[in-house]
Amino acid sequence: MYSFEPSEEQKMLVDAINRYAITDLRKQAHQAEEDNQLPIPLVEKGWELGFLQASIPEAFGGFGERSAVTGVLAAEELAYGDLAGAMAILLPGLFATPILLAGDDAQKETYLPPIVEAEWTPYTSALIEAQFDFDPNKLNTVAEKNGKGYLLKGEKIYVPFAEEAHAVLVYAQYGGDTQGFIVPKDTEGVEIVERQKVMGVNALPLYKVKFNDVLVPRENRLGGEAGHDFAPILDASRLGLAAMAVGLSRAAFEYARDYAKERDVFGVKVAQKQTIAFMMAEMVTEIEAIRLLTWEAAWMVDNNKEDASKEAYLALTGAMDMAMMVTDRAVQILGGHGYIREHPVELWMRNGRGIATMLGLTIV
Amino acid sequence: MIEFEMPKPIAQQNYVLKTVADNMMRPVSRHFDEHEHEIPWDYINFMHMAMRATGAGSLAPRERPKDEKKEEKPDEEKKKRPPIAYQMLAFMLETLSWGDVGIYLVTPGGGLGSAAVEAAGTPEQKQKFLARFAEEKPTFAAMAMTEPQAGSDTSAIRATAVLDKETNEWILNGEKIFVTAGHKALLESQGFVVVWATIDPKAGRAGMRSFVVEAGNPGATVTKLEHKLGIRASDTASIVMQDCRVPFDAMLGSPEIVTKSTKGFKGAMATFDATRPLVAATGIGVARASLELLIETLAAQGITIRYGLPRQKLTNIEREIIDMEVMLRSAWLLILKAVWMADNRKHNPMEASMSKVRAGDVVTKVTQKAVEIMGPLGYSRDLLLEKWFRDAKITDIYEGTGQINRLIVARNIFDYSGSELR
């Protein structure tokens, strides 16, 4: 059957995240952006809401089962607070979720419990490369097999928390496929080149990282000797990002709505002008449409439907356009005030443009 | 639980209707497009027979004979099955419109007229007016709201209803245009038209009421059939009422609303909450037909769509088609949510209007792009793409234009009344 009603458990989780998003994340987002740094207690508080912990089975230290639907609900709500904060809170998932999805038993037993049983600890992954037509299925970073394991060669950008991370899951091309390789901190040949400056999400530290013939032991190939299918990881990344785009857009929409209802113009409220009202009607319709597409894709992933990957791809494709459309209009509706950094909409617009290029910065 | 599993009855229904679309609609699509005002009786008679037999296409749980009721499953089991009547209908309309939306629009049964009776009528009125659809001959009903000078601004209608206290009859006067199936309701069957009129021209919306005018009423005359851009198999009638007398209880709703109130008008609007997503669904059917034919035609030339690539690596055609799929699927999901809410008796005016806004946009874009991408083939009447382009456009116009629905969505967003956001 069809249902658009989250379960009671999901509603409770979303409510808890929503409170945190409003009272904590949103309040500190501006300063964090200006400081290029997230307060760690803020991230820890978000981590304690327990989303990732609840998606890892008890056998590996968690207390639940992974659900992509729950994941997109949680990701939307976090990003409703702040995109950089949302990505930071879910950061350990960049490492843990692919291991849950594609790792062998030894990898799950080794890596998952220390992550989910601890306080927020940076674990990350490295996917994106510096190319205008970056394609996660055609990586330039390569893995070469040798007698001792695999040698990683290449350069990654936008690796969140690379400097601080205890381990990084590096994606590289091996035999024509994208494969993950677990690289612990301080492995020889890993070179943190620099912290990168980008248009938005400046509170989230992103690094350029070089892999100079990094030797990865055989057992550190994700999925073990046989490797793994990359598609489920990509699907989950697309879903997470699409959901975050929805949350971000919803934040921008609501801010513009409240502003338009407050602000006087020609003797009425801005919101009473059809030209603004229609823009808002289109924004909310767009957001709801893409939210439902994301939900459906997540449900298809959870239920192993044949077209799940395609649907997740469509959802993210729609989400890129939605995020840009909605955040741009939010700035426009605030007029000159929208351009001033005291209002959050310009940051959301910068973050909104990022959705098209952030595949790999989050996963649910 | 959030779920997207198609219920079995819907899957079965889709399967059957796809056959109807393939065999009874597509083969005659072009014919009825080129022979405007010719009536597709084969389709009508077939559908009438089939719907009578299966109860398909009905919103209301049908009154069954008592002995049949006894055999129903115990209450416990019944409760477990969630209501899906509106969802069934949305899928039905989508699939039939995928076949041919113009022909779908002449499907016998209540249409908008019945929906109005369903939404605003008393149990007695429902019994009196709706029973006819189960009879042997196909019967039609229509809704008459628009007038030459009043389209979207429904509160500006001028048709009047005056109570003749001596005979206890309403006397209707005025002209209605754009009445879908009005000709078939009054002249080709023993149907009816739900006519909107005012009992107090000074009262604006508070004076609006709806009246059932039945076939054979000498006061109601079909004066014109429109020639249209698309949906040509569907008749669009003008109806003039000249001292058209109807019984007192032909006014929908309880007699108390004879006193001034906006209930009557709200009744009409409530009808739209239910029907807008359904109309949106018909547009999606047309657009899906276009997109599928486009993809098939490209595939026949060796062009397949490479889903999963970054946009920067896609060809322009791939990008267009992927965008169309995003638009179409997300628009459909808005519809599905709106009808799911209707099934579960959740208040859905905002969702109904959002689904209509999105569908109106999307189906016009998709069908227009399909013609563009197919170049000279798309523009030719050899294929149906150009017809679907013409058919789809009405989605953004009838049952509330895209602009009216934007207004409704915006009023909901801002919690504004009609006077606060005009």
A132 touching B (Cβ < 8 Å):
yes
* Tens digit of each residue's pLDDT (9 = 90 or more) over A95-152: 999 999 999 999 999 999 999 999 999 999 999 999 999 999 999 999 999 999 999 9
Q: What pLDDT shows up at residue B206?
A: 83
Three-state secondary-structure class, residue A303: coil
Q: Is it the case that residue B69 has pLDDT exceeding 60?
A: no
Query: Tokens standing for A276?
Result: 């603004």
Q: Which candidate in B34, B318, B399, B420 is catalytic?
A: B399
The Cα B179–Cα B241 span in angstroms is: 13
Is the CB of B354 less than 8 angstroms away from the CB of A288?
yes
Of A132, A296, A303, Cβ closest to residue B333:
A296
Of B3, B357, B420, Cβ closest to residue A272:
B420
Which whole-number Å values give the CA distances from B28 to A95, B75, B100, in the listed order?
A: 58, 45, 9
Identity (one letter) of the amino acid at B210?
S
B 295-334 near A (Cβ less than 8 A): 307-313, 322-323, 325-327, 329-331, 333-334
| Residue B134 burial (10 A CB sphere; 0-12, 13-18, 19+) | middle
B336 touching A (Cβ < 8 Å):
yes
Break chain A into its structural domains and give their ranges: 8-116, 124-226, 231-357
For residue A300, list chain B residues with Cβ-Cβ distance below 8 A: 4
Average pLDDT over chain A, rounded to whole?
97
Which whole-number Å values give the CA distances from B416 to B116, B140, B413, B420, in the listed order?
A: 26, 38, 8, 6
Determine the Cα angle at A209 with ends A203 and A210, to 5°. Answer: 170
For residue B351, list chain A residues with Cβ-Cβ distance below 8 A: 288
The Cα B282–Cα B388 span in angstroms is: 12
Q: Is it the case that residue B63 has pLDDT exceeding 80?
A: no
The one-character DSSP state at B251 is B
Query: Tokens standing for B270?
Result: 């409530």
Average pLDDT over chain B, rounded to whole?
90
Asked if B209 and B246 touch (Cβ cutoff 8 Å), the reply is no
Band (pLDDT 50/70/90 cuts) for residue A171 is: very high
Is the CB of A299 less than 8 angstroms away from the CB of B2?
yes
Q: Is it the case that residue B76 has pLDDT exceeding 70?
A: no
pTM flag (> 0.90): yes
The Cα A138–Cα A301 span in angstroms is: 23
| Residue B85 burial (10 A CB sphere; 0-12, 13-18, 19+) | middle
Three-state secondary-structure class, residue A220: helix
All domains of chain B, ordered by start, with CATH?
A: 264-414 (1.20.140.10)
List the one residue out of B374, B385, B378, B287 whose CA is nearest residue B328: B287
Band (pLDDT 50/70/90 cuts) for residue B51 is: confident
Length of chain A: 364
Least Cα separation, residue B85 to chain A (angstroms): 12
Is the CB of A285 less than 8 angstroms away from the CB of B358?
yes
The Cα A171–Cα A143 span in angstroms is: 9
Of B322, B334, B421, Cβ closest to residue A288:
B334
Is the CB of B407 less than 8 angstroms away from the CB of A281?
yes
Is the CB of B334 less than 8 angstroms away from the CB of A137?
no
Of A133, A295, A314, Cβ closest to residue B2:
A295
The Cα B87–Cα B99 span in angstroms is: 19
Of A1, A69, A271, Cβ closest to residue B5:
A1
B80 touching A (Cβ < 8 Å):
no
Length of chain B: 422
B 346-375 near A (Cβ less than 8 A): 351, 354, 357-358
Asked if B344 and B274 touch (Cβ cutoff 8 Å), the reply is no
Least Cα separation, residue B347 to chain A (angstroms): 14
Which residues, in sequence order, are bridge partners of residue B197?
B209
A266 touching B (Cβ < 8 Å):
no
ipTM above 0.85, yes or no: yes
| Superfamily name and number for A8-116 | Acyl-CoA dehydrogenase/oxidase, N-terminal domain (1.10.540.10)
Query: Tokens standing for A38?
Result: 């997230």
Task: Determine phi and psi for B201, rounding to 5 degrees.
Answer: -55, -25
Q: Is it the case that residue B281 has pLDDT exceeding 70?
A: yes
Across A331-344, average pLDDT: 97
Across A303-307, average pLDDT: 97
Across B87-110, average pLDDT: 94
The Cα A25–Cα A22 span in angstroms is: 6
The Cα B59–Cα B337 span in angstroms is: 17
Class of domain A124-226: mainly beta
Q: What pLDDT shows up at residue B253?
A: 80
Asked if B284 and B367 touch (Cβ cutoff 8 Å), the reply is no
Q: Give the dihedral of Cα atoms B43, B46, B52, B58; nearest 10 deg.
A: -30
For residue B2, list chain A residues with Cβ-Cβ distance below 8 A: 3-7, 10, 69, 295, 299
A139 touching B (Cβ < 8 Å):
no
How many A/B residue pairs have CB atoms within 8 Å? 144
**Percentage of chain B modeled with pLDDT above 70:** 91
Q: How many CA atoms lie within 13 A of B112 on its CB side?
A: 30
* Tens digit of each residue's pLDDT (9 = 90 or more) over B352-380: 999 999 999 999 999 999 999 999 999 99
Q: What pLDDT shows up at residue B53?
A: 83
List the one residue out of A340, A334, A291 whose CA is nearest residue A316: A291
Across B313-331, average pLDDT: 98
The Cα B21–Cα B38 span in angstroms is: 19
| Residue A57 burial (10 A CB sphere; 0-12, 13-18, 19+) | middle
Asked if B117 and B110 touch (Cβ cutoff 8 Å), the reply is yes
More confident residue, B104 or B54: B104
B399 is catalytic: yes
Q: How many helices (H) and strands (E) does chain A have?
A: 11, 10
List the one residue out of A139, A149, A155 whose CA is nearest residue A190: A155
End-to-end Cα distance, chain A: 24
Is the CB of B326 less than 8 angstroms away from the CB of A288?
no
Which whole-number Å values give the CA distances from B390 to A152, B37, B394, B395, in the listed order?
A: 57, 16, 8, 10
Three-state secondary-structure class, residue B80: helix
Q: Among the CATH numbers 3.40.640.10, 1.20.960.40, 1.20.140.10, 1.10.10.60, which is that of A231-357?
A: 1.20.140.10
Band (pLDDT 50/70/90 cuts) for residue B66 is: very low
A290 touching B (Cβ < 8 Å):
yes
Three-state secondary-structure class, residue A338: helix
Asked if B185 and B114 touch (Cβ cutoff 8 Å), the reply is no
The Cα B191–Cα A211 span in angstroms is: 77
Task: Determine phi and psi for A208, rounding to 5 degrees.
Answer: -90, 130
Place of tokens 């409530």: B270
The Cα B290–Cα A32 span in angstroms is: 49
